[in-house]
Structures are given as C-alpha cells and as structure tokens.
Structure 1
Amino acid sequence: MVYIKNKWIFLLINIFVGTILFLTSAPVYNLRHFIDSLFYVTLAYFILMLFLFIIKGRFFDGISWSFRRFRSVMSKKRDYLVELGDTPMPSDRISIPFYRFIAFQTFALLVTLTLLLVVYYS
C-alpha cells in the first residue's frame, strides 16, 4: 500500500476536505459550522484509529481462530494441506506504519479542533 510520505500535506488535505464539507453543507458561514464540519472528518479518523487499535491489540484473533477451528472440524471436505496456523490472524494484517499515520492524522486534527474551539469561545 502506498502512503503519502509527507503527513503534513495529508493533514492539509484533510482540512481542505473539511472546508469543502463546510462550504457545501453549512447553512451559515461562521466558525461554529466550520468546527462542526471539521469534526466530522476528525470523527471518521478517530473511529478508524480506534478500530485499528482494537484489531492491533489482538482482540479478534481468538474469535477468528475459533471460527476457523469450527469450520475445519465441521467441514465434510477436509483440506489436509491447509493448517489452522498458516493463515495470518487479523492483528498480523495491520501495518504499524499505517496505524501510526492514522493516529498522527487523528491527533493533529484533534489539536486543530481544540485550537479552533479556544478561538471560538474566547
């Protein structure tokens, strides 16, 4: 998977996406609606980061191993060439650089939102 090497440029792209969302959906152009639209972009990244964190923490490994074991026991056509340990677990499929990239984008957008909220309420 190819990533954008400069994470700051991707952060600017995310803010640009929030701006486009603001310009297309805000009833009134003010700072509050811009913060709301940027929050939607940040929320998507936050949910993705938490999902990757749960998978990376090996939460689903036991569940997927149990389903694989059940399927191999209950299957009428047994494939003796495929072992249960040969297929990678869900936590092995998560790329650490991708997780760090998503985490950086999430925290940078959260800091941006925090600064915008301080400006809005001051």
Structure 2
Amino acid sequence: MSRFTLTAAITSGTIVLSLILQLIIDRSFNLLHFYNTVFMVSLAILLIGLMLYVVKGGFFDVFTRSFKKFWRMLSKRSLYQSEVMDDSHFSLSQRIPAYVVTSFIASGLFLVIVTMIIAFFL
C-alpha cells in the first residue's frame, strides 16, 4: 500500500467515523456538530501520528532493550534459550514503517486545517 492510498484511506475513514459518531451521539445530522466531530477525531489521528513519530525516532529503543536485558537476567529459561538460538536485536523503531507515520500525520493535519478553515468561514 502506498503512502497516498493509506493517507486517503485514513482521511476517508476519519470522515466516516465522524459521521457515525455524529449520528450515534445526536441521533440527527447537524453540519456544525459534524465539523466539530471531524475536528476532534482528526486531532486524535494527528496525536496517534505524532506518537508513532516519537516511537519511530527511537526514543523507546533504549527502554525496551533495558527491559529485555533485565528480564533475561531474571529468567533461567533465557540461559538455555541463548545457547539454542541467538537473541534478536530488532528494535521497536524498526517495526513501524515510515510511510505509516507520515500518512497519519498528513491525514490528521489536513483534516484539522480544513475543519479550522470551514469553522472560520461559518
């Protein structure tokens, strides 16, 4: 999946989720409340993207490596496992693709800006 299609899917999913939330909460459709709901959901998407950006930057790699080392020291089973197989040094920042991070940030930022412009002109 390319970055553009993922961004489009997140954007359209955010709008559909906002519409469903609007219909569940108000049981009717009000355009102003819909824009407010889109704004709040897109802020959540933007925060998820920024959180993924921090994880992708490697901030938590040191913590996860330290916890793995600590649990290896406490467990006797790890002594036997280390003889059989090598330990993986796969860090947390390598598990998240960069295009996922940029897609979440781009989608959230786009919807926040659009809803702010719409709210300004209403």
**TM-superposed deviation, 1:101:** 1.4
Partners of 1:106 and 1:66 in 2: how far apart?
Answer: 33
Partners of 2:18 and 2:48 in 1: how far apart?
Answer: 17
Which structure is higher in RCO with an 8 Å CA cutoff and minimum separation 6?
Answer: 2
The structure 1 segments of at least 4 consecutive aligned residues displaced by more than 6 Å after TM superposition are none
Q: Is the 8 Å Cα contact of residues 22 and 28 (structure 2) preserved in structure 1?
A: no
Q: List per-residue Cα deviations over 1:12-45 (Å, max 9, x = no partner).
A: 3422332232233227744431222112321320
RMSD: 2.3
Q: What is the aligned counterpart of 2:86 among 82, 102, 110?
A: 82
TM-score in terms of structure 1 length = 0.78
Q: List per-residue Cα deviations over 1:27-71 (Å, max 9, x = no partner).
A: 774443122211232132022112101101111101000011111
| Mapping of residues 1-122 of structure 1, within 5 Å | 2=1, 6=5, 7-8=7-8, 10-26=10-26, 29-77=29-77, 78=79, 79-80=81-82, 81-83=85-87, 86-120=88-122
- Structure 2: segments with no counterpart, 5+ residues: none
SS at match of 1:46: helix
Partners of 1:4 and 1:57 in 2: how far apart?
Answer: 19
**TM-superposed deviation, 1:10:** 4.6
- Structure 1: segments with no counterpart, 5+ residues: none
Deviates more, 1:72-81 or 1:9-18: 9-18
Q: How many residues align?
A: 117
TM-score in terms of structure 2 length = 0.78
Identity of aligned residues (%): 24
Code of the residue aligned with 1:61 in structure 2: it is: D
Partners of 1:23 and 1:3 in 2: how far apart?
Answer: 32
